[in-house]
Structure 1
Amino acid sequence: MAGNTFGQLFRISTFGESHGKAIGVIIDGCPPNIEIDLDFIQGELDKRKPGQSKITTQRKESDTASILSGVFEGKSTGTALALLIPNEDQRSKDYDHNKDIFRPSHADYTYQEKYGIRDYRGGGRSSARETAARVAAGAVAKLYLKQKGVEIFAHVSSAGTINSPNLPVQALSALLVIRESNIVRCADQATANEMIEMIDGVRKDGDTVGGKISCIIRNCPVGLGEPVFDKLHADLGKAMLSINAVHGFEYGSGFAGSEMKGSEHNDIFHVAEGGKPISTSTNFSGGIQGGISNGMDITFRVAFKPVATIMHNQQTVDKSGNAAEIKGKGRHDPCVVPRAVAIVEAMAALVIADHYLRQAAYQ
């Protein structure tokens, strides 16, 4: 199976399955002498772990990470840095009824056809359980970017048809306090209350709902991005679309920009007193022009579909092509976006860290 590696200079390879002994990640290319704060890494994993609240899956995993290599006396050594996260609460028997049938909108059928074999226990490698390894690696990337002054902030900006207002222009640390004060991880408290009530109602109905996550990357320098095929927004798009359940990515003005005139959409340059830095009066470009960061805030949004497993019986087919019925059972999120905030931030950090190292080659 190819496709388990992401990045060029700051490169990660993840491994493990939903119901295996453990999942983990190997980071190749992490610069030396980075303070590796395991408490910080664990804090990032805690934001993604299951069993957090009534609106997340009730699978209980501590997601406790241990460092196997690449760290000495609390600092990265520049060698391969490996992290391991044991699986603790597998209930493989919950999936026995799925052994010979394909779950609607899951990867069961495509994995079976592609490989001729599949791990039916929670989807095996196709499970979103794999994203815990990404969050661990992204936390290391964040520790590197912290030295550069880069801040990354994501929050749930919509759940179903409930949308939060645009984020106010203020310190990300203040928005972080609001986000972490509610279980849906929305940076607007009034909207969060609406979302929680709606998601809990969907959960009680045995159904699921999708949502969107908005992300801001602040204090990136001008120059990150490698045209033509490795444009910064292209790499961010690939990173986000590689996350389970993601069905859409847009940056800057996104799809709404297609409805504007050029005279409305152009970001006009202006210069601060004394010359640089050059900035723009608007940011429809989302901080990226020509595939290269321009020094403004990088902004993007990620759309997640409703979780495919619902607590209703559904019609499907079995491996032999016969009609079958699948029973709604198991432990699953009614809405994935509260836990996916940490994943979006992690993948953004991996992209920016990789491009920082690539840009350093020019200097």
Structure 2
Amino acid sequence: MNTIGKLYTLTSFGESHGEAMGGIVDGCPAGYILSPEEVQRELDRRRPGQSDLTTARAEQDRVEFLSGIFEGKSTGMPIGFIVRNQDQRSRDYEALKEVYRPSHADYTVEAKYGIRDYRGGGRSSAREHVARVVAGAIAKQVLRTRGISIQAYTSRIGSVEVNKPYTELELNRIDESVVRCPDERIAREMETLIREVKADGDSVGGVVSCVIRGLPAGVGEPVFDRFQARLGYYMMGINAAKGFEYGEGFHAAAMRGSEHNDVFVTENGQIKPLTNHAGGILGGITSGADVYFRVAFKPVATIGKEQQTVNRSGEEIRFSAHGRHDPCVVPRAVPVVESMAAMVVLDMLLEAGRF
């Protein structure tokens, strides 16, 4: 499927080395002011070539809106858009058309469809994320009118990790760092590690943490459509995502109930949990507290080191990848995590009749 969402939906199209990436956003409520400039800023956060820590592919990622916006406002009609590819180097992949690269989708895509676009991974490329960022940027603008904000940041690269809770970090400073980490000292260590890995022809993974503020209590379902289940579904649909946890996550397995329970208090006439080990979700339904979650990303599969694999004929061969690739996907995944979170939040609010 190339469509995600129930009421607020995105259908994306395009290949990494095709003419353009694009999508259709359907279900955006009518009458909301939508700034193309703000959408472009989000794309700029994701685009390649931002620093020496990312791929050198020189894409400007300029979004062109084709429908659904009139006089600066959403019309309620499908919002069509494209982002043209400008710096494809398909020749870099000619040598790989007969090769199944380790930990790539080459073999599985061909097993499913009997054909694959080997140029940059085709449809399996993370370049498809530009459509998600556009759809997410639109959703974020709509959500802001209800006081809902979404902020993600890099909390871990390899073994280098932020040890402070998000409440002690200056999240408004995330984009001041090329690795999108708001802890200045840890950010420098992350940069050093990525450069070392890159110089060694290797790659490294990490974790993106995200907080959703302003989400009202009562969103989500108590059984199959739990809020965390839908959130996890969106996050695990991101390329290279390997794990999802919310609240205390896997750490909760080592805690006692007396440690993990969030007691309720009344503050200014409003009921709220005193702590937030649950990550803002109780019984699959939002509690009104901040929704806090983390997404783990694997090391980029394309590396410069020589590896063993097989070709289409089943012959065992050795090869090393060439071309322009990120040594670490995590910093550019930050706006993608925000975008996917914004889409699922708006979709579920629409389902709940909150718009």
Give the TM-score, by structure 2 length: 0.98
Measured after TM superposition, the shift of residue 168 of structure 1 is 5.1
Range with greater deviation from structure 2 (302-311 or 225-234): 225-234
Q: Which residue of 2 aligns with 1:329?
A: 322
1:50 aligned residue (32, 48, 62)? 48
**Alignment partners' CA distance in 2, 1:11 and 1:169:** 32
Please list the CA deviations of residues 274-309 of structure 1 after superposition, one character each: whole Å capped at 9, or x if unmatched: x22x11111111000111100000000000000000
**Alignment partners' CA distance in 2, 1:280 and 1:313:** 53
Q: Which residue of 2 aligns with 1:232?
A: 227
**Alignment partners' CA distance in 2, 1:13 and 1:175:** 31
Please list the CA deviations of residues 177-216 of structure 1 after superposition, one character each: whole Å capped at 9, or x if unmatched: x211110000101100000011011111110000000000
2:90 aligned residue (89, 92, 110)? 92
Measured after TM superposition, the shift of residue 229 of structure 1 is 1.4
**Alignment partners' CA distance in 2, 1:180 and 1:30:** 28
User: In structure 1, what residue type is equivalent to 2:239?
Assistant: N
Q: Which residue of 1 aligns with 2:30?
A: 32
2:3 aligned residue (5, 13, 16)? 5
Q: Which residue of 2 aligns with 1:201?
A: 196
Counterparts in 2 of 1:168 and 1:90: CA distance versus 1, 3 Å: closer
2:303 and 2:320 in contact (8 A); partners too: no
TM alignment of 1:295-306, pairs within 5 A? 295-306=288-299
**Alignment partners' CA distance in 1, 2:29 and 2:14:** 25
Please list the CA deviations of residues 37-59 of structure 1 after superposition, one character each: whole Å capped at 9, or x if unmatched: 00100000000000000110110
User: In structure 2, what residue type is equivalent to 1:104?
Assistant: P
1:347 aligned residue (335, 340, 350)? 340
Q: Which residue of 2 aligns with 1:318?
A: 311
Q: Does 1:175 align with 2:171?
A: yes
Q: Which residue of 1 aligns with 2:62?
A: 64
TM alignment of 1:69-88, pairs within 5 A? 69-88=67-86
**Alignment partners' CA distance in 2, 1:119 and 1:169:** 44
**Structure 1: gaps of 5 or more residues:** none
Q: Does 1:126 align with 2:128?
A: no
1:165 and 1:188 in contact (8 A); partners too: no
User: In structure 2, what residue type is equivalent to 1:39?
Assistant: E
**Alignment partners' CA distance in 1, 2:95 and 2:32:** 47
* Percentage of identical aligned residues: 53
**Alignment partners' CA distance in 2, 1:179 and 1:189:** 10
Please list the CA deviations of residues 213-268 of structure 1 after superposition, one character each: whole Å capped at 9, or x if unmatched: 00000010001112321111001101110000000000000000011111111110
Give the TM-score, by structure 1 length: 0.96
1:107 aligned residue (96, 105, 108)? 105
User: In structure 1, what residue type is equivalent to 2:34?
Assistant: I
Please list the CA deviations of residues 332-357 of structure 1 after superposition, one character each: whole Å capped at 9, or x if unmatched: 00000000000000000000000110
**Alignment partners' CA distance in 2, 1:216 and 1:132:** 22
2:217 aligned residue (214, 217, 222)? 222
User: In structure 1, what residue type is equivalent to 2:188?
Assistant: N
1:100 and 1:319 in contact (8 A); partners too: yes
